Amino acid sequence: MYVEKLNPKDYEKLYYYLYLTRYADELICKNYKQGMLQESHHSCQGEEAIAVGSGILLGKDDYVCPSLRARGYFYLKGATLKEMMAGMYGKVTGPSRGKNTSHHMGDMDRGIVCGSGIIGGALPVAVGVGLGIKKRGSKGVVLVSFGDGSTSRGDFHEAMNLAAVWKLPVLFVCENNRMAMGNTIEGEMAIDRVAIRADAYGMPGVTANGNDVLAVYEATAAAIERARKGGGPTLLEFTTHRWTGHGVKDADAYRDRAVVESYKQDCPLDNFRKVLLAKGILKKRDLDRIEKAAMKEVDDAVEYAVQSDHPPVDIVATNVYV
């Protein structure tokens, strides 16, 4: 059991990033509605434990190709919240100097590969990153995250096949929230579990509770160990719920409100808090201290973004292909 090796500092870190991801997301959604942001945001509320529980295992030689909903990977791989927030606000202090939002943000020095607006588009890219890692003889791994809807596209199947044939150190991480925009999983595929798709390619397929940060950690740690030892890729399916519409512009009118509200009874933060308090790993005052520190980091980043300037005209026109 990998979880048994976690120490109190690791638990603090997990809780810090869970809380920070939630609080940042709530502020981003609120500020978007007030017209303050450029970013057409896709909320990760209710799904935070997946990026946090797996991202915490990535080291400096590892890479991540985050989906547009998986914000936690950016924070755990060291992208500063100030830079990210400035990017979302379209400010000159953002990573692309105000020319794109976090959908296409990357930072190769920190092992964060730029995202793609094409659903499933990041999977073949991750296979290329995995091939690079193997050719260099590095012990690194690459983690690519995507939704259940992405697994019905050709990119997914081609990427899975090649990664398995070449035994590449790729972790395919599916955030299965059973929705793809307004479509339900029953409308996307005729199987019950995404993980069984791994059988067709000769790699392990594992399903775990994506709202339990420790279950995510456990499954990911095993897949990483296998990949580092040359065992090849794993498909990890983490089950979860989408609490909001597809994106901030989606009123989510196609779902039963009572059902969506019921998802909040299975909140990844509450679930983890209960474990921490019941096992005496952290006390209520520790949680309060951690929450305060996370809120400050986010509030400072928002302040930085608000105070920063929009890009001047000469910057807007540079590095843009016409």
Ligand X SMILES: Cc1ncc(C[n+]2csc(CCOP(=O)(O)OP(=O)(O)O)c2C)c(N)n1
Q: Which residue's entry shows tokens 């607006």? A: 117
List all residues 6 or more positions away from 179 whose beta carbon is below 8 Å from its beta carbon. 147, 148, 149, 185, 242, 246
Burial label, 92 (beta-carbon count in 10 A; 0-12, 13-18, 19+): middle
Among 11, 17, 32, 146, binds ligand X (CB under 6 A): 146
Among 48, 148, 218, 237, binds ligand X (CB under 6 A): 148
Query: Does residue 119 bind ligand X (CB under 6 A)?
Result: yes
Query: Does residue 280 bind ligand X (CB under 6 A)?
Result: no
Binding segment for ligand X among 54-62, 116-124, 190-198, 210-218 (CB under 6 A)?
Answer: 116-124
CA 98 to CA 233: how far, in whole Å? 36
Query: Does residue 180 bind ligand X (CB under 6 A)?
Result: yes
Query: Does residue 172 bind ligand X (CB under 6 A)?
Result: no
Interface with ligand X: number of residues (CB under 6 A): 16
Among 177, 239, 240, 244, binds ligand X (CB under 6 A): 177
- The least distance separating ligand X from the CB of residue 26, rounded to whole angstroms, comes to 18
Binding segment for ligand X among 12-20, 30-38, 179-187, 287-295 (CB under 6 A)?
Answer: 179-187
| Nearest to ligand X of 97, 246 (CB atom) | 246
Query: Does residue 149 bind ligand X (CB under 6 A)?
Result: yes
Query: Does residue 49 bind ligand X (CB under 6 A)?
Result: no
Q: Which of residues 223-252 bind ligand X (CB under 6 A)?
A: 242, 246
| Nearest to ligand X of 4, 186 (CB atom) | 186
For 195, the token pair is 């993980």
Query: Does residue 122 bind ligand X (CB under 6 A)?
Result: no
| Nearest to ligand X of 185, 214 (CB atom) | 185
Binding segment for ligand X among 6-14, 78-86, 144-152, 293-301 (CB under 6 A)?
Answer: 144-152
Binding site for ligand X (CB under 6 A): 69, 117-119, 146-150, 175, 177, 179-181, 242, 246
